Amino acid sequence: MRVVVAGASGLIGTALRERLAGLGHDVVRLVRREVEGPGEVRWDPSRGRLDEADLEGVDAAVCLSGAGVGDKRWTPAYQREILSSRTETTRTLAEALARTRPRPAVLVQGSAVGVYGHRGEEVLTETSPPGSSFLADVVVDWEAAARPAQDAGIRTAFARTGLVMAPGAGAFGRLLPLVRLGVGGPLGDGRQWWPWITLVDEVDAIVHLLTTEVEGPVNLASPQPVRNVELTRALGKAAGRPTVVPAPRLALRLALGGFADEILASQRVVPEVLAASGFTFTHPDVVSASRWLLEQSSS
């Protein structure tokens, strides 16, 4: 299978490229710089430029592009970047795929559980409606940008990803060093539900969506969601360190700005569609996931 990947240099994209190559698939990277090899195609999503001729022979596509929501403070300018970096890339790729002949069979479109907003104790499946928050609005527009591919008959699955457990990157890249120092306690009151997934399961789930007849929203999160306090406790136990020092809500808001509200939000997400499609998690529970994360961060 020949797979074109947008966002191939990010955390998930890099791991996905390696996994696909290991399975014998041909990976084509979309890049914004000059092309350096036969496995690359240049595009300019800010101008909507991607030549469909460069996608000839592509069987599938994965779009993971987007500015990191926790990389910078949420100034109005950065909020616009968070939105545009997702909608422009998605729309540009979706439109090019729709023009390609023959058309690829599937697009796995990056998305996020942020679409559900803060929902307390409510169990959230793929049929749950969007919430009310900045990120929820972003995800709604992000998924809508893939409409040209859907209208062209390309099976489109929206990978609504939770917090990805990975060493040295993302939210856990920041949390793990604190846990090792014995100061990685709960965030806020710690009672908020955290939808998490290991990088291994995230990548395997995307590969699964490429080859399984699933379309529409798909929650990529562990089948066993836990509260933030339970997750930090499991990390501390795996690291052999206490996790009793909480991070107060006010301190988080001062340090992270608007992003703190997303960290403190409660999202009890379950992967109903993924489970029904026959996917098997390597790390279904937070104990095995925490052990894996500590092992990976030590290697």
What pLDDT does 169 receive?
73
> Could you report the per-residue pLDDT of 183-197, keeping only the tens digit for each?
777 888 889 999 999
- Is 148's pLDDT higher than 90? yes
For residue 254, pLDDT beyond 70: no
Q: Is the dihedral of CA 84, 215, 134, 255 positive or negative?
A: negative
pLDDT tens, position by position, 33-50: 999 988 999 999 999 999
pLDDT at 269 over 80: yes
* Selected residue with higher pLDDT from 258 and 264: 264
Q: How confident is the model at residue 241 (pLDDT cuts 50, 70, 90)?
A: confident
Q: Give the residue-averaged pLDDT of 1-24.
A: 96
pLDDT at residue 299 is higher than 70: no
Q: What is the pLDDT of residues 153-185, one digit of tens each?
A: 999 999 999 999 998 777 777 777 878 877 777
Rounded CA Rg of the chain: 19
Residue 32 — very low, low, confident or very high, per pLDDT cuts 50/70/90? very high
- Residue 167 belongs to domain spanning: 2-298
**Least confident stretch, 50-54, 117-121, 253-257:** 253-257
Instruction: Sheet containing 106-112: give its strands across.
Output: 40-42, 26-31, 2-6, 60-63, 106-112, 155-161, 216-220
Q: Which pLDDT value is given to residue 255?
A: 62
pLDDT band at 251 (very low <50, low <70, confident <90, very high): low
Q: Is the pLDDT of residue 258 over 90?
A: no
pLDDT tens digits, 129-142? 999 999 999 999 99
In this predicted structure, what is the pLDDT of residue 298?
73
Q: How far apart are CA 74 and CA 82, in angstroms?
A: 9
Domain CATH number, residue 69:
3.40.50.720
- Mean pLDDT, the chain, rounded, equals 92
Q: Answer positive or negative: Cα dihedral of 95, 100, 103, 105.
A: negative
Output the pLDDT for position 172.
79
267 pLDDT higher than 80: yes
218 pLDDT higher than 70: yes
Number of domains in the chain: 1
Q: What three-state secondary structure class fits 12?
A: helix
Judge whether residue 252 has pLDDT over 90.
no
| Residues 6+ away with beta carbon under 8 Å from 22 | none
Lowest mean pLDDT among 52-66, 96-110, 157-171: 157-171
Residue for token pair 């020092």: 245
> CB–CB of 13/70 below 8 Å?
no
pLDDT of 8 over the 90 cut: yes
